[in-house]
Structure 1
Amino acid sequence: MASQAISNQPRVLVVEDEFIVALDLSETVRDMGFRVEGPYANTDHALISVDQELPDFAILDVQTADGEVFPLADALTDAGVPIIFHSGHATPKELRERYPEAMAASKPCPPSDLIAMITKAEERAH
């Protein structure tokens, strides 16, 4: 019965290469009742995960341990997966120009702003 409850939870892909930030994001997502996929420090590892199963939505840092996250963001956008960018390497304006449907927050982001974006991403996923 527990596995059925887990499978019904929306799945959130977290890609973040800073350990403490990744841990904080993951805990926020879990506290909101979602299942965390990751966190991944590498874009390539996250791409492998996405090939196996699409998440309901994703929280992405722009600069990961193996380069920029844009190939993953492109794949998610093409698949219709809502994206939240959480980055100190690009401004929200720059990211929205490239990904008009995405939400974006600069690091550090107040937890209440991130929670509001997660709530909106879940609504878009359904």
Structure 2
Amino acid sequence: MVQPRILVAEDEAIVAFDLIETVEEAGFIVEGPHRDISSAMLAFQKQKPDLAILDIRLGDGVVYPLAQRMADEDVPIIFHSGNHSHEEIASRFPHALALAKPCPPAEVLGAVNEALETQ
């Protein structure tokens, strides 16, 4: 069975490392980390992921245009941010999940599994 591919867009190196380590240890394939929207968009265009974990503010701006593109193509999204309200995320992307930074690995994996199950 092919493991799901998860695109990670996170510009904080330590946070990105923790996210990647968490999902790789659970057996998922990781694309990233992408530190900016343009890099993440290019990766998305090359190969559509099964899921995306996105920080809202990356090195080159707010990730909402990328998230909208992914949502339009039915890619489940988990927003992972410490600076944005869950209400704002829910109003823009009602089917997305949102995790607050810092987030324990068990919560990240719970959200990943939930998002993939609803796909």
TM-score category (smaller protein) = over 0.9
Runs of 4+ residues deviating >6 angstroms? none
Partner of 2:117: 123
CA contact (8 A) 1:91 1:106 kept: no
Amino acid at match of 2:58: T
Tell me, yes or no, if structure 1 residue 34 matches structure 2 residue 28: yes
- Any unmatched runs of 5+ in structure 1? none
Number of corresponding residues: 119
Report the structure, 1 or 2, having the larger helix content.
1
Amino acid at match of 1:113: E
Amino acid at match of 2:110: A
RMSD: 1.1
Cα deviations across residues 48-102 of structure 1 (Å, max 9, x unaligned)? Answer: 1111110000000000011111111000000000000000121222111110000
Taking structure 1 as the reference length, the TM-score comes to 0.90
- Any unmatched runs of 5+ in structure 2? none
Identity of aligned residues (%): 47
Tell me, yes or no, if structure 1 residue 50 matches structure 2 residue 35: no
Report the Cα distance in structure 2 between the residues aligned to 1:116 and 1:102, rounded to whole angstroms.
14
Partner of 1:103: 97
